[in-house]
Amino acid sequence: MSHAEVGGPREPRELVIVFIDLSTFTVDARGVDDTRLAEMVADYYERVGGHVADAGGTVVKFIGDGALLVFPPAQVDAAVGALFALREDVDRWLAAERWGSRLVVKVHCGTVVAGSFGARARGEERFDIIGTEVNVTARLPTRSFAISPQAFRRLSPTTRQRFKKHTPPITYIPVDERHP
C-alpha cells in the first residue's frame, strides 16, 4: 500500500487485517535488561516491517511485542506468504536468542473504517483502522497461526493447500500444525 492509500480521510475499506504478537514475550523479557530488550524489540520491528512492506502491506501500529497490519485484499496470497516467512524468520531468530517465544499470527478480511485518527490540534493524527472486523481478528483463537473463513475464501487454490480446517469456531491453520 502506498502512503496515499493509507492516509487521508476516513472511509470504509475492505482490507486483510492481521494481528501478530509473540507468545510468552513477558516471560522471556523478564531475564533481559531494558537496553537489550529495546534492541530486540527494534530488531523485531525491522523484521516485521520488511516482510510486510515486501508483500505490499502496511504496519498500522506496533504495541510492544504486538502489531496490527493491513494488506489490500488483492494481496492476500502475498500477505500469507510473507506472514509464513516472517514467522519462520522471527521464530529462528528467537530460538537463536534462546527465547521460548514464537510468533502468533491472526488473519481476517473485512470492512473497516480506515484513515487518519488522533489529536488533530497537536499534529498527532496517524493512519489507523477501526471497526468490528478488527476485533474479530484479535479474537481468532490460536497460539500459532490462524486464518478466518473470510480470508481463507479469498486465497488462491494453491495457497489454500497450506491450511486445513480447524473447529470450533472455524479457522484454518497450517497443514503441519496439530492445534491452535
Please give the residue that has the higher pLDDT: either 107 or 179. 107
pLDDT score of 5: 54
pLDDT score of 170: 75
73-132 pLDDT, tens digit each: 999 999 999 999 999 999 999 999 999 999 999 999 999 999 999 887 777 889 999 999
Domain ranges, ordered by start, for the chain: 3-174
> pLDDT category, 171, cuts 50, 70, 90?
confident
CATH class of 3-174: alpha beta
pTM over cut 0.85: yes
3-state secondary structure the chain: CCHHHHCCCCEEEEEEEEEEEECCHHHHHCCCCHHHHHHHHHHHHHHHHHHHHHCCCEEEEEECCEEEEEECHHHHHHHHHHHHHHHHHHHHHHHHCCCCCCEEEEEEEEEEEEEEECCHHHCCCEEEEECHHHHHHHCCCCCCEEECHHHHCCCCHHHHCCEEEECCCCEEEECCCCCC
pLDDT score of 125: 86
pLDDT score of 140: 94
45-70 pLDDT, tens digit each: 999 999 999 999 999 999 999 999 99
121-170 pLDDT, tens digit each: 777 889 999 999 999 999 999 989 999 999 999 999 999 999 998 876 77
